[in-house]
Structure formats: C-alpha cells, structure tokens
Copies of this chain bind each other. A is one copy, B any other.
C-alpha cells in the first residue's frame, strides 16, 4: 500500500501527492527527488513500483518477504538499506521489531515498511530543514536512520527500567521468584540485540563514504548516528550480562528464602518434640516411678518442659532461625 508520494525540489516539498507513474517520471527528471512511502506491499504492488523505478529482482523479493538482516547493498546505482525499527511495548515488556527497506538513488528514495516504524515524524522534521534537504536523499536517509536509532534508545530505556524492577523483585525478600520474567527479558534483549547489532556496520560503511548517494558534507551526521548506535549496542550488551547475573543471584535468593522456611518449620518440629519426649517418659507404666507420686511432680515436669522449650526457642531465635 502506497502511503505517501512526494517530490522534493531544492529543499522544499512540492505541494500535493502524485500518482506512481508521475513519480517515476519526476524521479527521472532534473535535480528534484521523489520520496515514495510504501507499507507492507503485496508482490504485485511492489512489482509495479520496481518496474517504474528499475529495481533489482532480488531487492524486490526482499521488499515483499521482509525477513532481512540489517544490511546495505548496492544494486547498480540504487542503494538498498535494510533497517530494523524497534518499539518498546511497556505493557507486555516486549520489543516490537519492524523492518524498513530503503531504496536510495540520487533521484528517489523508496521506503518500504513492515510492522512498527512510522515515518511521518521524519517527514515533518525534514520539512523544517530546507538547508539540509539540499543535500538530497542522503539527508532523508540520515533522518530516517536517526529516528530509528532514537527508537532504540527509547527501547533500551524501557528495558533498563524493567531490569531495575526485576532486580528489586530478586532482592525484595517477599518470596517472589522472577525467574520466568528474567528469562523472558533475556529473550527480548537477545532479539533486540540481533536487530540492532548489524546496523552498526551498515552505518559505518555509509559514514566512510563508500556510497556516492551520501555526499561528503553528510558524513559527520552519519558518524553521529554511528556513535549513538554503538552506545545503544553497548548498553544492550550490558543488559545481557546483567540479566545473566540476575538469574544467578535469583537462584541464590530463592533457595536462601526457601531454606529459611524449611529451617523455621524444622525448628518448630524440634521444639515440639521436647514435650512429646518428656511426657512419654512419665507416661510409662513402671510400677516404680517415684516422681509420679510426688506432690508437685506434675507441675515440675510442666515447668521442665516450658524451660527446655524456651531455651531452645531463644537459641533458635538468636541463631536467626525463627
């Protein structure tokens, strides 16, 4: 589905949308460029676009199937940049990963989106910077990558907060076992890392000026994106280490707490075994147990039981077992 088709001329968006065929013609014309935005196209839809803009057979397959690894690939004069967008869904503690395929040519940029990764904010942003838009499509590509990486930062922030919450659960001492939550977070972080990590090489390659479509004046901007990307990547790697340690610490905490419960119960059983034992002795039927006939035999035995149990109780208390 085509969601947007605009022509940019000397840093300004030309008024109004235009149909696909005119877009193709505009792209072949002078120093303007076309931005064509497509969302989850069908094979036929995209075939039409590919013919209009002369895209490579393999690229078309990628654009429709959309299960690519982030990469940059030059097909003839057209650059294909594949990027994973990430959106943090806080309610489910899930990173929603979308895919953006960007076909970039001096004369056009075609953005194919699958899943998360709305680009309208990018459109609004570049409209306000006619000075930079004069660098052409390279600037649009930068603006998109910049937004994608900002999305990673937000995602990483969300994961960070969840990890802090999990840490509190691990050490809270109120009997929770967040093992499943930790594991699920590990899985999310792994998926997140898989989406983010390969992009670093892609942006680096662009920043080093391997592709003509990005003029030299923009390299600093791409290096800036690259720095942000490495920061996010480092942070996500750190999450993996942290969650691994948290899983380990959780095992310790859980087993400590459960052992404490067992120790408490066992201590009480031990205390209760004292009266049973002593009373058992005076429940024997020997003809000749002198204590049984003492006047204060019974209260003395009761007192003995109370004293022994109290001593045990105090000792257990002092050991921190009760």
Contacts and interface: CB of A to CB of B under 8 A. Distances in A.
A196 to B, nearest CB: 12
A177 interface: yes
Contacts of A256: 177, 179, 254, 258
Give the interface SS of chain A, mostly helix, strand, loop or mixed. Answer: helix
B230 A69 contact: yes
B279 A234 contact: no
A91 interface: no
A177 B231 CA distance: 34
A234 to B, nearest CB: 6
Nearest to A279: B280
A179 B170 CA distance: 10
Given A179-B253, A227-B69, A285-B282, A263 B265 contact: yes
A54 interface: no
Interface residues of A, number: 93
A262 B147 CA distance: 54
A289 interface: yes
A273 interface: yes
A210 interface: no
A3 interface: no
B259 A183 contact: no
A212 interface: no
Nearest to A197: B234
Given A251-B248, A321-B261, A71 B281 contact: no
Interface in A167-222: 167, 170-171, 175, 177, 179-180, 182-183, 186-187, 190-191, 194, 198, 220-221
Interface string A247-291: 111111111101111110111111011111111111111111101
Nearest to A298: B286
Contacts of A301: 284, 286
Interface stretch (A38-46, A120-128, A237-245): A237-245
Going nearest first, the 8 A-B pairs with the smallest beta carbon separation are A279-B280, A282-B284, A272-B273, A258-B259, A69-B231, A286-B298, A283-B283, A171-B180
Given A68-B227, A69-B228, 6 more contacts: A187-B242, A244-B245, A251-B255, A255-B258, A258-B263, A281-B302
Interface of A: 56, 58, 62, 67-69, 71, 73, 75, 167, 170-171, 175, 177, 179-180, 182-183, 186-187, 190-191, 194, 198, 220-221, 223-224, 227-228, 230-231, 234-235, 238, 240-242, 244-256, 258-263, 265-270, 272-289, 291-293, 295, 297-298, 301-302, 305, 319-321
